[in-house]
Amino acid sequence: MDEFKLQTRYAQSLFDLAKEDNKTKEVFDDMSMIKKVCQENHEFQVILKNPIIKPLDKKSILEKIFKDRCQELTISFLSLIVKKRRDIYLLGICERYLEIYKKANNIKTTELITAQTLSQDIISQIKEQLKKELNSDIDLQIRVNPKLIGGFCLTLEGKQYDASFLNKLIKLKKMFAKDFCEKVS
């Protein structure tokens, strides 16, 4: 079976169970935290992907790490995927769950890249404006990239609006190069 489909099926099942218990938000928080642990801790990923480590040992490791930090439903789910030997897909399952939750709750993920750190007031204004324009809640991911010089880049649903000074300088450079080549020819 295709990895993406498998991850989606497990994530959808978890979402359906969480919905029955009215805990979709709590499980969303758990999956966000687990995703972060998977991404930031290479050793954790190695443990999950190691076929030599017994499922019982993996289950014990997961319980030690997450038992006091996650919902009981999430812990039971982690035990299930270890038992079914699907633990190697944990990161993907977390990502699919987050996507399913956001779609069900009309939350759009937007990435904003700026040249410098923004104040909380400016961030709130941007979120409110996006919320009005898109008619949905906004999950705003902010990154700072000083190479932009000024301005910003906004990414939403695979589309990017680049209003950075760097982009404008690159366009200007191309325009001058084109004009220069035409005049030389």
Per-residue pLDDT tens for 105-125? 999 999 999 989 999 999 999
Cα–Cα distances in Å, from 179 out to 150, 167, 173?
A: 26, 18, 10
pLDDT of residue 97: 97
Q: Distance between CA 13 and CA 20 in Å, rounded?
A: 11
Classify strands 137-144 and 107-114 as parallel, antiparallel or unpaired.
parallel
At how many degrees (to 10) do helices 3-20 and 72-83 cross?
A: 150
- pLDDT of 63 > 70? The answer is yes
Instruction: Give tens-digit pLDDT for 65-92.
Output: 999 999 999 999 999 999 999 999 999 9
pTM: 0.80
Name all domains of the chain by residue range, CATH numbers in brackets.
3-103 (1.10.520.20), 106-184 (3.40.30)
Considering Cα of 104, then 134, then 126, then 161, what sign does the dihedral take? positive
Phi, psi angle pair for 173, to nearest 5°: -60, -45
The pLDDT of residue 147 is: 87
Mean pLDDT on 54-58? 93
Per the listing, tokens 């490791």 go with 61
Asked whether the predicted pLDDT for residue 173 surpasses 90, the reply is no
Report the mean per-residue pLDDT for the chain.
91
What's residue 84's pLDDT?
93
185: its two tokens: 């020819």
Kindly state the average pLDDT of the residues 122-139: 91
What pLDDT, on the 0 to 100 scale, is given for residue 124?
92
pLDDT-derived band of residue 175, with 50, 70 and 90 as boundaries? confident
Which one-letter amino acid corresponds to residue 57?
D
* Predicted confidence band of residue 181 (pLDDT cuts 50, 70, 90): confident
